[in-house]
Structure 1
Amino acid sequence: MRWLIVAPVSVGLGLLFSYWHVPAAWILAAILSSGAMALSTGRELPVNPGVFRFGRGIIGMLAALPLVGVPLGVLGGYLLPGLFVAVVTLAIGVGGGLLLAAKERAVSPETGILSMLAGGASIMPVLAKELGADYRFVALGQYLRLLAVSVSLPLVTTFFSTPAEHTAPDEPPVVWFMVVAIVLIAYFGDAVGRLIRLPVPSVLGPLAITVAVALLLPEDLSLLPPELFRILAFLTIGWMCGGTLSFPALRAFARQLPATVTFIVVVIGACALTAVPLTWWLDITYFEAYLATSPGALETVLALSSEGGAGPVVVAVQMIRLMAVLAIAGWLPQVIRLLTRGR
């Protein structure tokens, strides 16, 4: 019965936020609507397991598609700069997460790190749920960073000179049999991931299958999920996070707000400084380097990159860092044991 209220309210808020160009509009709409229902009734609002399985599969596919769009030769050429950016960003995220966990006993190392890893904001709550972390805290922290980066990017980059004007290419049409393939990959990718023993198979399973299949497809076919599927996936992530909100959870997040905001400022500043040596290393404009090192908000980064005529360095470096972030997040328990060994 509660879903008869939450679902249409989520859609209405999502449309409104999209019209206002609010970052992560559909995720935020779902968090607000399901969170309001959970808080007002005092009971959690669980998401249907089948719907959630499909939604997180779509999230995995969306994370894979930018990797397919960059030729391996291009990725290889930017491997060292990309790893440099990844190491800086990951060091800040992992270090900040461990400091937060040490400061606040209610926050586990997994929760602290996943809430502060830059990149893949829509994936982190799913990974948090799989790894037993507090995905509510992770979602709120990730959204706050995403909001700060998304709002600041268009404002800051207006002061930089751009390489050229460029028009983004049209998306290829999605045909019916590709829609069937997308549904199968999203829903059954989890099972395949478990079969081949991938870490966090619910996300990395669909991701790996999407990369493998997309590399074999002709150029006129695409595994890009239809808009309706993407909206449902984002709503699912928001419902998962908002539906389990409680007043104690919100109070716990509020206590950590100063530390979270400080981290966001530090990571944005560090990435901006990291962009400086990239301009010399790769002989690119600071506009391109700044976008390449931006800590998240990939959709905004790609839109500004296309509009400003940036070269492939932006996508390549972002994708190399995304792969590093996913690798760290997927093996997070082992990473934490390694870092805390001997303490």
Structure 2
Amino acid sequence: MSRFSFSWKSYSLRWAGLVSLSALISGVFLLLHLTAGMMLGPMIAGIIMSLKGRAVTVKPVFFTMAQAILACVVVNSITLSVLHHIFSHWALVLLSVLSVIVVSFATGAGLAWFGVMPGTTALWGTSPGAASTMVMLCGAFGADARLTAFMLYFRVIMVAVATSLVSWVVVRTHHDIGIPPLTQGNLLPTLSLIILSTLISLKLRMPALALLLTILIGTALQLSDLLHISAPFWLRIPAYLIIGWSIGLRFTAPVLRYALRSIPAVLLSSLTLIIVCALLAFPVAYFAKIDLLSAYLATSPGGLDTIIVISANIPIALPFIIAMQTARMIAVVTLGPTIARPLGRWLERHARTPLSEKLIPQTKD
């Protein structure tokens, strides 16, 4: 009994340490106005605990439920008003979205071709936007979730810094930044949808199904005006924690060393995507007849939450920005897996052998 008590106490202390470390790191990111810190903090904390041999286990049911919760964030942005803005500028939106997707997959293919990353992982890791969704889906399509998360969130930080600087230069004034406001909606029906999607996914043993089911059912109900999906910030926090921990705790010393070794190449690919998106802002501003800052924010390859928070109290064309970002998110979530799987397999057959296969021991993860 004493041995069991000691083991339980040790495990509880590990969880306490993980939670405390996550809160500390996330707090630092939020002070720096990086909303992605809500997932980055837990992920970094998980990496530290794993490397120190103090890892804990996140049960699959919680990871599956976290996917359903973040799917509600996706659905929450798909409204009739947003769709109206998309269809009003359909040619411009289509050209912009396709251009960014082509460039992102081209940079990913480059990373795979030169052996920096495995083909499928490189393509998922260069997806333009929808970072949390891509991290959740990539594992089911053969990508390494750890390296994918590293690539995506490395770029998220770069985009957040670049966007903050551009906003400051254009507006030439500082502005208050806070947590995104609570999203209005029907909370209880939304929670019911989350639980239903989670149970179906667990029953069929298809982890990504929870995310896809929630998006499909939620979007149909919301556009039919039968239900308005609620995704308040407090509901997202546990999802960010669980997903961050699930990824971070799977890191090993070889994986981390390899990720750090690939930083120059990942930095170059991220800069390429950021610059291309910035250049796209000029024709978007001209044809949509909006200011250049709004066009830049609309084409920026960062998350919508980050864009909204950074642009707080700035007079911008927010409906157009949300429409453009939402259109790209939908395209990335729907087209990404379709393109990444065959292209990734082709690259893995024809490109250089990725260094990860030589430096990272293969696991069942």
1:194 Cα deviation (Å)?
10
2:187 aligned partner, one-letter code: V
CA distance in 2, matches of 1:238, 1:342: 31
1:208 Cα deviation (Å)?
1.8
1:24 Cα deviation (Å)?
1.2
Partner residue of 1:18 out of 30, 52, 62: 30
1:331 aligns with 2:334: no
Q: Summarize the Cα distance change of 1:4–1:236 in structure 2 as closer, same or farther, 3 Å threshold.
A: same
Q: Which runs of 5+ in 2 are unaligned?
A: 1-10, 351-365
Residue 201 of structure 1 corresponds to 209
Residue 231 of structure 1 corresponds to 237
Q: Summarize the Cα distance change of 1:336–1:45 in structure 2 as closer, same or farther, 3 Å threshold.
A: farther
Q: SS of 1:264's equivalent?
A: helix
Map of 1:275-286 to 2, 5 A cutoff?
Answer: 275-286=281-292
Give the root-mean-square deviation of aligned CA atoms.
3.2
Percentage of identical aligned residues: 25
1:142 aligns with 2:152: yes
1:271 aligned partner, one-letter code: C
1:170 Cα deviation (Å)?
6.2
TM-score with structure 2 length normalisation?
0.80
Q: Which runs of 5+ in 1 are unaligned?
A: none
Q: SS of 1:213's equivalent?
A: helix
Q: Summarize the Cα distance change of 1:20–1:305 in structure 2 as closer, same or farther, 3 Å threshold.
A: closer
Map of 1:1-343 to 2, 5 A cutoff?
Answer: 1=11, 2-41=14-53, 45-68=56-79, 70-104=81-115, 107-160=117-170, 171=182, 178-189=186-197, 200-217=208-225, 222-305=228-311, 307-311=313-317, 312-336=319-343
Q: SS of 2:18's equivalent?
A: helix
CA distance in 1, matches of 2:298, 2:322: 7
1:190 Cα deviation (Å)?
5.3
Alpha carbons 2:183, 2:233 under 8 Å: kept: no
1:207 aligned partner, one-letter code: I
1:60 aligned partner, one-letter code: A
Q: Deviations over 1:255-314 (max 9, x none)?
A: 221110001111111111111111221222111111111011321322355633322221
1:181 Cα deviation (Å)?
2.1
CA distance in 1, matches of 2:169, 2:31: 26
Q: How many residues align?
A: 331
Q: Summarize the Cα distance change of 1:21–1:89 in structure 2 as closer, same or farther, 3 Å threshold.
A: same
CA distance in 2, matches of 1:7, 1:60: 24
1:259 aligned partner, one-letter code: A
Alpha carbons 1:110, 1:332 under 8 Å: kept: no
CA distance in 2, matches of 1:304, 1:257: 25
Q: SS of 2:170's equivalent?
A: coil
Alpha carbons 1:193, 1:204 under 8 Å: kept: no
2:45 aligned partner, one-letter code: S
1:39 aligned partner, one-letter code: L
Of stretches 143-152 and 20-29 in structure 1, the one that deviates more from structure 2 is 20-29
Q: Summarize the Cα distance change of 1:200–1:330 in structure 2 as closer, same or farther, 3 Å threshold.
A: farther
CA distance in 2, matches of 1:317, 1:173: 22
